[in-house]
Homo-oligomer: A and B are copies of this chain.
């Protein structure tokens, strides 16, 4: 009898569920559901206005995703609920909410429905920047060792700054909160009726380390005395590795999904991280780049290395038994979109419209035949700062080599090439710090839709680029984890390695470096690196000084 699992991917605006045939590894069906409240960045449902840089979500939307998509999958495939042996999920992160001790979100309680801090703080809620800054200053002053696990800096997007913001701005909400919990873990609570915590978000977003644990109570007290016991009071030190089974579906969840209470549920996970087994990666040395508006790089190693400038390292944080490394580039698709939004000439827009193609497709057509180096341009991809390896949000963009003959499509391509150089910097940085990178995989929208960019990446990296076989990498990865939670005794997979082998996949065709191009890109990357180090490592801090002048001008002008 065929067995199945379901993966549910919680994105920024919608959830997407996928039904996986565990024997063939085939994606049988998928279904999606857009969050009715989407991202609340200006008002609460009550109409109450939100501050600058806020971004909230409503947890009811997450439940509604399950209640809509899973019954739809069963209905349209005719698969028997009893044959769905496991369910896995993944979430954006750090997306976090305050709950009561039974898992009820504070915003579900009428007395808090009009209170912004009672809602889910989405990953891109950026209103805790001052808390992150103070946290980093304090940690650096105290010489806290944990900073080394995060390339030296904690982001304002992560859990502790967000929790601290609640405490400072709404101490009554902080007091009423029994548990601060990642949405990734909260949805598992909804499914199983049990609280659990996963190593991935704990490690990457909550300053937890398998050996070192959380920061000390003294450290939290040095931020604010009221935070001293935040871990024991509102978080948890009971952290499960990725791939673990939390339990089976509770009756409530079985009832609204149409599944049975025998269905195993995997521990919470993160959208980027579940993509790793979805492309068949089952061990160290194989980097996965998830390429969208920004790029997230996942890599496993056999030992814990302090790699300067990475986003984080977490034992078991990607696959159990390995040290999972994360790095990132904060401006990739955003980089290209900035160009087309701001600097695309009218004639090109008109040309694309007349042909009914996207401006990106038009630009690619105009430039894809150009040889590397022929434009004479090189750029630093720092329009949104540098996440890895310099971890410096105050760096800004650079474009060099323009002449009066420089065409728009040449600049567009130079921006693409710059992101490829940025990826190569990250890879070389890992290698130089003892973490091998032997193979390169790409998933995400750009990898599926932009062959020119992927060929450039192959040529710049000097490595073949393998492309995710599924356009729904996160949902597929979650389904694999769901099958692992079920285990082979229930018709699932014995472990994530079997899962990666049976259901993970890349496309048959991949991008092979073209030796002549790679040779030129070696020269161009050498130039990129000189500029990267000159502007990024202190020889000329002009970008920071310009930022200071800019801020000063706005303040005093």
- Mark A residues whose CB is within 8 Å of B: 331, 334-335, 338, 341-346, 349-350, 371-378, 383-384, 396-404, 406-408, 411, 516, 520, 523-524, 527, 530-531, 534-535, 540, 542-543, 545-547, 549-550, 552-554, 557
Contact = CB atoms under 8 A, between A and B. Distances in A.
Contact of A546 (B346, B377, B552, B553): B377
A328 to B, nearest CB: 16
A351 to B, nearest CB: 11
Nearest to A542: B527
Given A343-B343, A350-B346, A553-B374, A397 B403 contact: yes
Contacts of A376: 396, 546-547, 549-550
A141 to B, nearest CB: 29
Given A345-B346, A406-B342, A549 B373 contact: yes
Given A520-B553, A540-B530, A553-B374, A343 B408 contact: yes
Given A376-B549, A547-B376, A557-B371, A383 B396 contact: no
Contacts of A331: 404
Contacts of A344: 343, 345-346
Contacts of A341: 345
Contacts of A545: 523, 527
A400 to B, nearest CB: 5
B397 A383 contact: no
Given A376-B549, A378-B546, A531-B542, 7 more contacts: A342-B408, A344-B346, A346-B349, A376-B547, A398-B401, A520-B549, A527-B542
Given A371-B553, A524-B549, A549-B524, A384 B408 contact: no
Given A343-B343, A345-B342, A553-B520, A404 B375 contact: no
A401 B554 contact: no
7 smallest beta-carbon distances between A and B, as pairs = A397-B402, A373-B549, A346-B346, A376-B550, A343-B343, A371-B557, A346-B349
A335 B402 CA distance: 11
A399 B399 contact: yes
A543 B401 contact: yes
A374 B516 CA distance: 43
A404 B378 contact: no
A545 B523 CA distance: 9
**Most chain-B Cβ atoms within 10 A of its Cβ — which of A411, A545, A549?**
A549
Copies in the complex: 2
A124 to B, nearest CB: 13
A237 B398 CA distance: 51
Contacts of A546: 373, 376-378, 400-401, 524, 527
A371 B556 CA distance: 10
A349 B344 CA distance: 11
A326 B279 CA distance: 65
**Most chain-B Cβ atoms within 10 A of its Cβ — which of A341, A349, A557?**
A557
Nearest to A557: B371
A378 B546 CA distance: 8
Given A376-B547, A549-B373, A553-B372, A383 B402 contact: yes
29 contacts: A331-B404, A338-B404, A338-B406, A342-B407, A371-B557, A372-B553, A373-B552, A374-B554, A376-B396, A376-B549, A377-B546, A383-B404, A396-B400, A396-B402, A396-B403, A397-B402, A397-B406, A398-B402, A399-B400, A400-B535, A400-B542, A400-B543, A400-B546, A401-B543, A401-B546, A524-B546, A524-B549, A530-B542, A531-B542
A106 to B, nearest CB: 34
A373 B550 contact: yes
A545 B407 CA distance: 20
A349 B345 CA distance: 9
Contacts of A400: 396-399, 535, 542-543, 546
A349 B350 CA distance: 12
Given A343-B343, A527-B545, A384 B404 contact: yes
B396 A399 contact: no
A350 to B, nearest CB: 7
A208 to B, nearest CB: 32
A396 B408 CA distance: 16
A387 to B, nearest CB: 14
A401 to B, nearest CB: 5
A408 to B, nearest CB: 5
A534 B376 CA distance: 18
A402 B382 CA distance: 8
A540 B526 CA distance: 12
Contacts of A408: 342-343
Nearest to A554: B374
A523 B540 contact: no
A406 B547 CA distance: 13
Nearest to A385: B403
A464 B397 CA distance: 33
A341 to B, nearest CB: 8
